[in-house]
């Protein structure tokens, strides 16, 4: 069984590729430059180039699509979905999705998410896409502000009532199962972590793991430059909109979402404390 991963060098793709290799899957990746972990077959191409997308899809049993942070992301997603439909390739989508009334509310009040919501809806409508999963905010976003955390500050805002967040290792494992396990169900839903975490609690978790104070800094004048030190272009713009929103609205944890990911993983999702402990140990080992 060969599966194709789009975005294999990005956050979702790296973790999915790792989980696929751990399952012994033959992994192919559509990449713009060939720098991938051992065991992954690169197919050089570009989502802007339909012929390279078709070549990358040829002979694969399933493909993962995550949308790049790109001003043209709707067109790129359309190219990929059309190619999968033409070839009859099963498509697994991971990204932004909201159905029904929730989509209407998001589109009305979150203009910057309209393109991403249209991509999610397009994938959901596709006859070859039977898995549409929308992760909440990644724990691993903290790695963008690694230098700040190690310097004793946590400049990523999250509402005082908390924002649900999820471990990309769990997201990658679910997606690897979705791509390879014939018994994986057709599913549309949210991939959530076990709890909602406030910015202050996140800083406190890092302080406990590092054994020294970490100050929470929620002022826009702190978090915007911190993100700009690690990101650029459309990704920086997307993160700016997201963190502005997360500083203003809580994202509660739904018991239904936690039950969904627990069922898909066959165990409860990892806690933020587990992620921070493991990452602090990695940073200490390879500073």
Ligand X SMILES: NC(=O)c1ccc[n+]([C@@H]2O[C@H](COP(=O)([O-])OP(=O)(O)OC[C@H]3O[C@@H](n4cnc5c(N)ncnc54)[C@H](OP(=O)(O)O)[C@@H]3O)[C@@H](O)[C@H]2O)c1
| Binding residue (CB under 6 A) for ligand X from 46, 54, 254, 271 | 46
Annotate 17-38 with b (16+ C-beta within 10 A) or e (fewer): bbbbbeeebebbbbbeeeebee
Mode of pairing for the β-strands spanning 163-166 and 196-197 = antiparallel
Instruction: Answer yes or no whether residue 112 interacts with ligand X by CB under 6 A.
Output: no
**Nearest alpha-carbon partner for 141 in 249, 69, 72:** 69
Considering the complex, state which of residue 11 and residue 205 has its C-beta at the smaller distance from ligand X.
11
Shortest distance in whole angstroms from residue 172 CB to ligand X: 10
Instruction: Answer yes or no whether residue 198 interacts with ligand X by CB under 6 A.
Output: no
What angle is formed at CA 171 by the lines to CA 229 and CA 241, rounded to 5 degrees? 40
Question: 159 and 247 in contact (C-beta within 8 Å)?
Answer: yes
| Binding residue (CB under 6 A) for ligand X from 2, 43, 68, 143 | 68
Q: How many residues bind ligand X (CB under 6 A)?
A: 28
Instruction: Answer yes or no whether residue 118 interacts with ligand X by CB under 6 A.
Output: no
- Where do the H-state alpha helices sit in 154-195? 168-180
Considering the complex, state which of residue 46 and residue 152 has its C-beta at the smaller distance from ligand X.
46
Shortest distance in whole angstroms from residue 94 CB to ligand X: 7
| Binding residue (CB under 6 A) for ligand X from 9, 58, 204, 271 | 9
Residue 35 phi/psi, 5° resolution?
-135, 95
Binding mask 150-189 for ligand X (x = CB under 6 A): ----------------------------------------
Instruction: Answer yes or no whether residue 135 interacts with ligand X by CB under 6 A.
Output: yes
Q: How far apart are CA 275 and CA 91, in angstroms?
A: 29
Q: How far apart are CA 109 and CA 119, in angstroms?
A: 17
Please list, in sequence order, all residues whose beta carbon lies within 8 angstroms of the beta carbon of residue 278, skipping any fewer than 6 positions away: none
Considering the complex, state which of residue 56 and residue 207 has its C-beta at the smaller distance from ligand X.
56
| Binding residue (CB under 6 A) for ligand X from 16, 17, 25, 137 | 137
The footprint of ligand X (CB under 6 A) covers 7-13, 30, 32-33, 46-48, 66-70, 76, 95-96, 116, 135, 137-138, 141, 235, 238
């Amino acid at each position: 069984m060969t599966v194709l991963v789009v975005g294999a060098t990005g956050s979702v793709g790296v973790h999915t590729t790792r989980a696929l290799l751990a399952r012994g899957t033959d992994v192919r990746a559509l990449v713009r430059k060939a720098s991938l972990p051992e065991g992954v077959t690169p197919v050089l191409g570009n989502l802007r180039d339909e012929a390279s997308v078709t070549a990358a899809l040829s002979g694969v049993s399933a493909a993962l699509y995550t949308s790049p942070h790109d001003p043209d992301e709707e067109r790129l997603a359309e190219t990929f979905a059309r190619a999968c439909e033409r070839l009859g390739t099963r498509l697994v989508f991971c990204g932004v999705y909201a159905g029904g009334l929730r989509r209407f509310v998001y589109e009305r009040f979150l203009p910057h998410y309209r393109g991403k919501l249209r991509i999610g809806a397009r994938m959901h409508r596709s006859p070859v896409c039977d898995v549409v999963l929308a992760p909440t905010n990644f724990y691993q976003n903290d790695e963008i502000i690694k230098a700040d955390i190690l310097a004793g500050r946590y400049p990523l805002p999250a509402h005082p009532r908390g924002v649900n967040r999820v471990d990309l290792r769990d997201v990658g494992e679910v997606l690897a199962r979705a791509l390879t396990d014939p018994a994986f169900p057709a599913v549309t839903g949210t991939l959530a972590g076990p709890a909602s975490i406030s910015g202050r609690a996140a800083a406190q978790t890092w302080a406990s793991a590092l054994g020294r104070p970490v100050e929470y800094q929620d002022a826009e004048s702190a978090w915007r430059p911190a993100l700009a030190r690690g990101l650029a272009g459309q990704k920086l713009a997307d993160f700016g909109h997201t963190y502005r929103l997360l500083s203003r609205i809580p994202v509660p944890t739904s018991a239904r979402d936690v039950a969904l990911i627990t069922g898909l993983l066959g165990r409860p999702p990892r806690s933020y404390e587990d992620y921070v402990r493991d990452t602090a140990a990695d940073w200490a080992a390879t500073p």
